[in-house]
């Protein structure tokens, strides 16, 4: 056996950098992910999430810094590392020329897994992905959710130690998304290490035991989601829509307001109780507001700003 099985650090990078046209997309990234962790990476478009994931499997040359996966230095051991890694890519690349079942079988053959083992494993994975009845179907006959579940099943064909998921639920309806979540939780229970990128804060909050907020190729925040919410932002948020200047003046008098932001015609007041502001609102005729506990999105916005990213 190689060192892969012994190391508790599944991912370890030091000053890992990637430049495109002189601009650092990943900038001196120091990252350690331990075995069994379900790690979510959040960040706006262009933050360097996908590039980081691509480096993990040797799909992107490293410009400087060091990276080892499962204890093996990259990119020299890319091929060996990929034997023990599963990848769910952002863009579906299921094999349209094959049936559901064949997709798993042919993919398994790329790992050099024997036909006999694959027959058994294909059956198990179809069951895991709730696709037994679709085994003989063409890919074009599958719904978006089924395709993603098949892509997930395909990523497990080599019994990986690390599963990398790049926006696995983007574009899915809530039912399909919940189904994927449930499968991912099962995998986590089995002790698999998972790394996921997502634009859905709720997804990261519910699934991950560690969340990394990335922007401009750097780590902006890194902790358990509950801890991030507790430590990085105030406990409550008051969102007031389309308020008059006069009303805003009154609201601002609340001494418990710690922070105040404006985005379009929405005003965000951050604070612990905000009781004065709430009273003002109740007395006024203005009913277009929302008072809620802070969530991961507030943390995200705090670190990455409200500006649009294209």
Check binding of 186 to another protein (CB under 8 A).
no
- Residue from 89, 145, 217, 271 that binds another protein (CB under 8 A)? 89
Pick from 30, 95, 186, 249 the residue near another protein by CB under 8 A.
95
Tell me which stretch binds another protein (CB under 8 A): 9-17, 83-91, 236-244, 302-310: 83-91
Q: Does 22 bind another protein (CB under 8 A)?
A: no
Per CB under 8 A, 57 contacts another protein:
yes
Size of the site for another protein (CB under 8 A): 29
Cβ at position 19, least distance to another protein in Å? 12
42 binds another protein (CB under 8 A): no
**Rounded least distance, CB 149 to another protein, Å:** 16
- Contact segment (CB under 8 A) with another protein among 34-42, 73-81, 193-201, 234-242 equals 73-81
> In the sheet that 210-215 helps form, which strands lie side by side, from edge to edge?
85-88, 162-166, 193-197, 38-42, 210-215, 218-223
Q: Which range touches another protein (CB under 8 A), out of 99-107, 124-132, 254-262, 293-301?
A: 99-107
Report the residue from 1, 6, 21, 91 that binds another protein according to the rule CB under 8 A: 91
Tell which positions 147-166 bind another protein, by CB under 8 A: 155, 158
The pair of structure tokens assigned to 9 is 């650090």
Q: Any contact of residue 24 with another protein (CB under 8 A)?
A: no
Length reported for the chain: 310
Q: Which stretch binds another protein (CB under 8 A): 107-115, 121-129, 237-245, 272-280?
A: 107-115
Nearer to another protein, 151 or 304 (CB): 151
Task: Name which of 165 and 213 has its Cβ closer to another protein.
Answer: 165
3-state SS of the chain? CCHHHCCCEEEEEEEEEEEECCEEEEEEEEEEEECCCEEEEECCCCCCHHHHHHHHCCCCCCCEEEEEECCEECCCCHHHHHCCEEEECCCCCCCCCCEHHHHHHHHHHHCCCCHHHHHHHHHHHHHHCCCHHHCCCEHHHCCHHHHHHHHHHHHCCCCCCEEEEECCCCCCCHHHHHHHHHHHHHHHHCCCEEEEECCCHHHHHHHCCEEEEEECCEEEEEECHHHHHHHHCCCEEEEEECCCHHHHHHHHCCCCEEEEEEECCEEEEEECCCHHHHHHHHHCCCCCEEEEECCHHHHHHHHHCCCCCC
Q: 98, 128, 181, 291: which one contacts another protein (CB under 8 A)?
A: 98
Under rule CB under 8 A, residue 191 binds another protein: no
Residues that bind another protein in the complex, under the rule CB under 8 A: 57-61, 78-80, 82-83, 85, 87, 89, 91, 93-98, 102, 106-107, 109-112, 155, 158
């Amino acid at each position: 056996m190689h060192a892969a099985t012994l190391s508790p650090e599944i991912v370890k990078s030091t000053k890992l950098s990637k430049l495109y046209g002189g601009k650092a997309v990943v900038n001196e990234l120091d990252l350690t992910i331990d075995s069994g962790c379900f790690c979510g990476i959040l960040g706006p478009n262009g933050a360097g999430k996908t590039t980081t994931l691509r480096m993990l499997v040797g799909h992107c040359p490293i410009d400087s810094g060091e990276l080892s996966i499962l204890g093996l230095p990259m990119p020299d051991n890319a091929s060996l590392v990929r034997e023990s890694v599963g990848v769910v890519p952002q863009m579906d690349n299921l094999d349209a020329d094959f049936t559901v079942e064949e997709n798993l079988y042919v993919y398994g053959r790329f790992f050099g897994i024997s036909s006999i083992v694959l027959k058994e494993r294909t059956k198990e994975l179809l069951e895991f992905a709730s696709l037994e009845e679709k085994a003989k179907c063409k890919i074009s006959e599958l719904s978006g959710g089924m395709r993603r579940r098949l892509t997930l099943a395909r990523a497990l064909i080599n019994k990986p130690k690390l599963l990398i998921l790049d926006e696995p639920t983007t574009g899915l309806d809530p039912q399909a998304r919940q189904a994927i979540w449930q499968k991912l939780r099962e995998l986590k229970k089995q002790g698999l290490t998972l790394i996921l990128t997502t634009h859905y804060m709720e997804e990261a909050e519910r699934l991950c035991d560690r969340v990394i907020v990335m922007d401009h190729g750097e780590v902006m925040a890194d902790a358990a989601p509950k801890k991030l919410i507790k430590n990085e932002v105030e406990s409550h948020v008051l969102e007031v829509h389309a308020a008059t200047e006069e009303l805003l003046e009154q609201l601002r008098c609340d001494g418990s307001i710690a922070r105040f932001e404006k985005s379009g015609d929405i005003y965000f007041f951050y604070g612990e109780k905000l009781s004065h502001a709430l009273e003002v609102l109740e007395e006024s005729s203005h009913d277009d507001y929302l008072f809620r506990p802070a969530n991961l999105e507030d943390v995200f916005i705090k670190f990455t700003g409200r500006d649009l990213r294209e």
